[in-house]
Structure 1
Amino acid sequence: MTYRITAAAFAALICVPGPAFAQDGVRTVNTYGVPGLIDMPTAQMQPDAELTTSVSLLSNGASRAQIAFQLLPRVQAVFRYATVPDFLPVGAEFVRTYDRSFDLRVQLLKEGARQPAVTVGLQDFGGTGLYSSEYLVATKTFGDVTVTGGIGWGRLGTRGGFSNPLGALDDRFDTRPAPDFGTGGSFDADRLFRGDAAPFAGVQYRWNDRLTLSAEYSSDAYVEEEARGILDPKTPLNVGFDYALHPGIRLGGHILHGAEAALTLQFALNPKRPPAGSGLEPAPTPVTLRTGSDARTTAWTEGPGAGEAVRGGLARALADEGFELVASRVEGTRAVIRFRNTRFRSQAQATGRAARAATAVLPASVETLVMVPVGDTGLAGSAVVLRRGDVERFENAPDGAERILASAHLVDAAKLDDAGLVVRPGAFPRFRWTLGPYAAISTFDPDDPLRIDLGADLSAAWEPAQGLLLEGALRQRILGNRDEASRVSNSVLPRVRTDSYLFARTDQPFVPYLTGTWLVRPGADLYGRLSAGLLETQYGGVSGEVLWKRGGSPLAIGLEVSRVRQRDFDMRLGFRDLDATTAFVSGYWTHGNGFHSRVDVGQYLAGDRGVTYELTREFTNGWRVGAYATRTDVSSEDFGEGSFDKGIRIEVPLAWITGQPTRVTSSATIQPILRDGGARLALRNRLYPMVRDQSAPDLVDDWGRFWR
């Protein structure tokens, strides 16, 4: 798997500090990355939305790395990447194995004054089965002492086991199919809560705000490891400590089964706890109030050149707030202001600031403000129609955001009459460029689980006219080891992605993308995109998209069709003899409370057909954490290791880290297995991400920032 991740995202995911030790609420994690003792889990949960990264290193050479996300206050999901030495047989020898797995934990009861917390967990329910187990655990805290007891199945039922109590319900629970340690990726429901069960227990003592001591009785006998001579358990007792080095950073040390030592390093951050608090942006321009007599005159509209001075002043006032005036129409009592917001993540906040800036320069007779925010690409969604008098009255009202929203109107910008709209001199053509570093990371290669390239990136964009965008970039790798990957693909499908390592072998300057894009509003509630050129690092061709999105509706529907050819491995201007056609119908749904779903149905790069589902949780500050899975008509055997495509996406807004207003974000896609089945194009400027924050419900949901 390969993805781009900027330095800002890397810092956010690794070591952004949290609040004080006693207040962060972050739980100690076990060697499997979930709230726990040492190897055993507890029933506790992390704070809501907590993103925890942990690494456990054992003295026998085994290691586990986890990313855990508290999806809901009572639901936690975990992705794990582990390696065990001398585990899988190859010929007459045993070789190191690399294992990927997923966990899901649900808290059935929260801890109360008298009742314990109770959690049910599925460990490694979608991997090879190396760590496959289920458990039901209860935890209760008494002052500085926390007591845990539970029952485990599978791996957690291998020491001191007894007949499965669920066997009283059905004889099938008495036996558990053995794991085959195969390709993984399948949900083996026939193993859940089956076979012998065993008890486990433990206690933790909180010595002070930083130090916690733990001891446990483990129900994991490490059967497979002992059979291969990897670990020789002496006792079921494990002991250890957990120490908070820094808010959000913890170190644990453990003695396992009297035979091995282990270290666990945990990094925790939370989208709800930004390092810079609520933000460090400067105060907005206050509303300029009118007098009664000024509001009645429209004399400024008369004579030659009427309005030019007003438009010039409007452009300067918006520029002072960090906006670009694209076009405007200022009449006797009405002003239409189309402005580019490249500064604030929240379009509601940008609209509020632009409206206040406009009151300082618009003639007093102008009562209706039609604010049309556009993104960096210039595509407009909804226009916000405000009464200037309401802007004046509600600026300092305690419930000002609610009152201005109640009096405002949202209108599809495509329905506005553009007659008389004057484009600001100098708005087009528009050119911008950046020069900076880039990092390309490849993970989960069994020969070297982490490879990275570092280099310089020169990118540029030119807009000769509204809706027409030409973009390109030139990169030069300076150092790295991604070119050392040598594992040859064994795919039986067209190698649309599994030859990705060959694209990393060039030492010459290369072009990651070079595209022309036309963005258009063909009608009310409709958006269109046509892209051509070198669409991404591995493919070039033509791609078209149409999106239907009605303002106020939680539903959006899109259609995308692309015809592409694979590029030469040197990523210059040549192509290889591999063509592909992709076509998708996509549905987008806003559930509310920050949850969003996306469903794509269609044909993928390898010609396989199927469906992708993605669930994302988003936060008001711009954080996004999601997971996706794809199933196509390719069988698990033909797909290969992993059985089907799946992954995790994380997007971090730079403003969350720095506190300064910016729309720049850093994103990472963690893809356990890069195969050819279910592969899609990595296109730029897809419509839905561009327009959704410019119309309801997103625009309305974020309205509390209007006066900020």
Structure 2
Amino acid sequence: MPVPTHGLRRSRTPRGAVPLTMGLCAGLGLALTAGPAIPQEDPWSRPTLNYMGVPGIVDMPTAHPMRDADLSMSVGTFKDTIRGTLHFQITPRLSGVFRYVSLDGYNNKDYYDRSFDLRFLLAEEGRYSPAVTLGLQDFGGTGIYAGEYLVATKTFGRLRATGGIGWGRFGSYNGFSNPLGILSDRFETRPEGATGVEQTGRVDFGQWFRGDAALFGGLQYAVNDRLLLSAEYSSDAYVSESERMGFEHNSPINLGFSYRLTDGLDLSAAYLYGSTLAAQLSYTFNPKTPTRYPGGVGPAPKPVFLRPPQSAVDLGWTQQPDAPEILRTTLKGLLEADDMELERFGVEAHVARAEVRTGAQQSEAQAVGRVARIMSQLMPASVERFEITLVTGTGLPVSRIKLNRSDLEELEYAPDGAWQSYARAEVEDALPEHAGQIVPQGAFPKYEWSLAPYLTSSYFDPRQPITLTLGAQLRGSIEPVPGLVLEGAVRQKLTSNSAGVRPSNSILPHVRTDNTLYQETDDPTLNYLTATQYFRPGQDVFARVTAGYFEPMYGGISGEVLWKPVDSRLGLGLEVNYAQQREYDQGFGFMDYGVVTGHASAYYKAPNNFHYQVDAGRYLAKDWGATFGVDREFDNGITIGAFATFTDVSFDDFGEGSFDKGIRFYVPFSAITGERSNVTISRALRPVLRDGGARLNVGTRLYEQVRQYQQPELQSQWGRFWR
């Protein structure tokens, strides 16, 4: 029987991915456009945020958490104070907060404060019992807002009542002897916290729940599903602001309202402490469903072709000498029409094998489903087994998925067809490779290029809270043979506000704190230029060697080996680098500072899509230690996490911040727009950038490239198999 040749297309040059690094503000602006504008019917379905950016009444906290995975951003202002807060509901009970505050005239100068909070729901609200939450405010910052509280909240129809007891700031107005003093005398006195810029960032365990305590409470009333009225009695005396800024604390009573403009957007106003008006805008969205199009808006997949009865026994096509080439050419064209690339192809009487780069598909499981249906349309009826090998964008074959064609025909329209198809599929390591597969003619060299704007940013310098640099970037890459990737980028700065940023005062080698010196040149700069060889030393093992200019500040050579079994949640890696510091003009020259640095890493994907990572080794300033990170990833690819690094550099030698820490997020544009895209927003936000715990930025690391093609990730995405 003749081989079908429908859908044959000419090969085309792969599209250049558009590199775009955007700041937090741009990302939040896009997020604002993504959510539905329909108010909730239940006014209590999501708590309002107080002026500290956490679930609360006016300035005091309440006990109810936000919805699981809610990410809230708020900006509030009153009397020489501007507060910006990020609140993330990490789990249904645990939430984390990062707050950045501008205090105008604090000690007769402008002051910028950074702080972290944690809140934990001890008990959910029941029919007769209140919700109860324990909170730590500003536990790792300067201590200006440091306080602890235990708060309970109960709902009575449209009325919600809150009462609590607090310490620190929450115990500063009408305080009384600490009731915990019955446990130990040490609770009766609150030690002085760390003071001075160099002492900030420490976790002062010795202060928690110490000193005088005070009571606070309040009421909220839902007039309708949008308008909430609030009144509270505050236990915060605003001592620091009164002494250093002339803030007037005339009354503990605060009055306010919150109006829900849309499901995610709230506008609040209040009269605080009998002396000042306040206003706040807050926005909440849930990374689980950040778009109106959770299924995507790409082209529909091809249907499974149903073979006529008894057709599977026809092997006449195997006598046609050019059959494999015709099938390969046709398959290549059909995959390109769906934005995928055929790497290699082989076919036998009952098995067809395809190695595929999935491109900008929204998930690898979806790509597997689409490849399988295209193969069902094309392969002769005798071919019963499809073996689809997933290949990274850098040419590493990672995993092989084996599917029975008869299962596809049976399950395409089954009510639970996605999970049945997963149960019947086999996922194995891509090694050993099968001989006899054909590399498509003209597939190599692969190349892509782009010319696009770029935006870099840094945050929280006391003299320049936000530093932005805008310019144009010319980027290109070429892959002459599978696994060898040459890539680079040249940038031309157009405008920047980096002038005036304070010079480094670090006593450690200036491995990061001189980063602003790299932004001063107005000439074109070489952002990075690397050659990387990716290869598979053995089953479950991946490796790379990278040489060149890794980033604006460093170049050198880097080697990495990753052990990551295809069906395991655990991965182990080892990386060794020699890094030489580049000259400030970011040309081809180097300075004198060089260092051998590297880490042993452990990666683990826990249930509910939590990812844990530990990196232990030597850092750029020649300090030894470990970085601990945890991230929560959602099915659409959005990731939110936090990290902290502890090394043998003392808190005093580290300087401001005491140790390296921060929050990070990764947002694919496809999760917001529903459109296929390789563009992402990726940011790590540190309260302060210092030299201790600084790691080399190597954009070719293996774990993130490999894990998305393996069984744990495919399993979590398999609901998209038929999309």
Show the counterpart of 1:335.
352
Q: Is 1:266 aligned with 2:282?
A: yes
Show the counterpart of 1:81.
100
Whichever residue aligns with residue 320 of structure 1, its letter is A
Q: Is 1:67 aligned with 2:80?
A: no
| Residue-pair matches, total | 698
Partner of 2:170, secondary structure, is helix
Show the counterpart of 2:68.
48
Whichever residue aligns with residue 383 of structure 2, its letter is V
Identity of aligned residues (%): 48
Whichever residue aligns with residue 11 of structure 1, its letter is G
Partner of 2:129, secondary structure, is coil
Show the counterpart of 1:503.
518
Runs of at least 5 residues in structure 1 that lack an aligned partner in the other structure: 89-93
Show the counterpart of 1:461.
477
In the TM superposition, what is the alpha-carbon distance from 1:260 to its structure 2 partner? 2.2
Show the counterpart of 2:39.
21
User: Alpha-carbon deviations, 1:140-178, whole Å to 9, x = none?
Assistant: 122222111111101110111111111111111111112
Q: Distance in 1 between matches of 2:30 and 2:666?
A: 10
Q: Distance in 1 between matches of 2:459 and 2:382?
A: 62
Equivalent position to 1:281, from 298, 308, 318: 298
Q: Distance in 2 between matches of 1:266 and 1:478?
A: 33
- The answer as to whether partners of 2:546 and 2:559 remain within 8 angstroms in 1 is yes
Q: Is 1:36 aligned with 2:56?
A: yes
Mean Cα deviation higher: 495-504 or 311-320? 311-320
Equivalent position to 1:350, from 356, 367, 371: 367
Show the counterpart of 2:446.
430
Alignment of 1:370-381 (within 5 A): 370-381=387-398
- The answer as to whether partners of 1:9 and 1:667 remain within 8 angstroms in 2 is no
Q: Is 1:477 aligned with 2:493?
A: yes
Show the counterpart of 1:631.
646
Alignment of 1:48-447 (within 5 A): 48-59=68-79, 61-88=80-107, 94-182=108-196, 183-278=199-294, 279-417=296-434, 419-447=435-463
TM-score by length of 1: 0.96
Show the counterpart of 1:696.
711
In the TM superposition, what is the alpha-carbon distance from 1:18 to its structure 2 partner? 4.2
Show the counterpart of 1:621.
636
Whichever residue aligns with residue 326 of structure 1, its letter is E
In the TM superposition, what is the alpha-carbon distance from 1:10 to its structure 2 partner? 4.3
Mean Cα deviation higher: 46-55 or 256-265? 256-265
In the TM superposition, what is the alpha-carbon distance from 1:667 to its structure 2 partner? 1.1
Q: Name the CA shift for 1:258/1:7 in 2 (closer, same or farther; >3 Å).
A: closer
In the TM superposition, what is the alpha-carbon distance from 1:273 to its structure 2 partner? 2.3
In the TM superposition, what is the alpha-carbon distance from 1:230 to its structure 2 partner? 2.4
User: Alpha-carbon deviations, 1:637-667, whole Å to 9, x = none?
Assistant: 0000000000111111211111123344221
Q: Distance in 1 between matches of 2:345 and 2:500?
A: 54
Partner of 1:697, secondary structure, is helix
User: Alpha-carbon deviations, 1:377-415, whole Å to 9, x = none?
Assistant: 222211001111111111111121222222221121022
Equivalent position to 1:643, from 645, 653, 658: 658
- The answer as to whether partners of 1:17 and 1:246 remain within 8 angstroms in 2 is no
User: Alpha-carbon deviations, 1:299-352, whole Å to 9, x = none?
Assistant: 222254341111111112222222111110111111110011012131111001
Runs of 4+ in 1 over 4 A off after TM superposition: none
Q: Distance in 1 between matches of 2:24 and 2:438?
A: 39
Partner of 1:353, secondary structure, is helix
TM-score by length of 2: 0.94
- The answer as to whether partners of 2:139 and 2:204 remain within 8 angstroms in 1 is yes
User: Alpha-carbon deviations, 1:668-697, whole Å to 9, x = none?
Assistant: 111111000000112112100001011121
Alignment of 1:577-588 (within 5 A): 577-588=592-603
User: Alpha-carbon deviations, 1:99-136, whole Å to 9, x = none?
Assistant: 21110000111122221111110001111211110001
Whichever residue aligns with residue 33 of structure 1, its letter is G
Whichever residue aligns with residue 612 of structure 1, its letter is T
Q: Distance in 2 between matches of 1:471 and 1:293?
A: 51
Whichever residue aligns with residue 451 of structure 1, its letter is T
Partner of 1:267, secondary structure, is strand
Show the counterpart of 2:29.
11
Q: Distance in 1 between matches of 2:65 and 2:145?
A: 21
Whichever residue aligns with residue 304 of structure 2, its letter is V
Q: Distance in 2 between matches of 1:87 and 1:301?
A: 83
Mean Cα deviation higher: 265-274 or 65-74? 265-274
Q: Is 1:489 aligned with 2:504?
A: yes
- The answer as to whether partners of 1:204 and 1:215 remain within 8 angstroms in 2 is yes
Q: Name the CA shift for 1:138/1:98 in 2 (closer, same or farther; >3 Å).
A: same
Q: Distance in 2 between matches of 1:122 and 1:21?
A: 31
Whichever residue aligns with residue 285 of structure 1, its letter is K
Alignment of 1:540-551 (within 5 A): 540-551=555-566
Show the counterpart of 2:7.
none
Q: Name the CA shift for 1:229/1:395 in 2 (closer, same or farther; >3 Å).
A: closer
Alignment of 1:531-542 (within 5 A): 531-542=546-557
Q: CA RMSD in A?
A: 1.7
- The answer as to whether partners of 2:41 and 2:225 remain within 8 angstroms in 1 is no
Q: Name the CA shift for 1:679/1:705 in 2 (closer, same or farther; >3 Å).
A: same
Runs of at least 5 residues in structure 2 that lack an aligned partner in the other structure: 1-20
Show the counterpart of 1:673.
688
- The answer as to whether partners of 1:26 and 1:248 remain within 8 angstroms in 2 is no
Q: Distance in 2 between matches of 1:163 and 1:438?
A: 56
Q: Distance in 1 between matches of 2:700 and 2:469?
A: 25
In the TM superposition, what is the alpha-carbon distance from 1:462 to its structure 2 partner? 0.7
Q: Name the CA shift for 1:531/1:229 in 2 (closer, same or farther; >3 Å).
A: closer
Q: Distance in 2 between matches of 1:651 and 1:38?
A: 32
User: Alpha-carbon deviations, 1:194-216, whole Å to 9, x = none?
Assistant: 11100001111222222222111
In the TM superposition, what is the alpha-carbon distance from 1:702 to its structure 2 partner? 1.8
Partner of 1:228, secondary structure, is helix
Mean Cα deviation higher: 187-196 or 396-405? 396-405
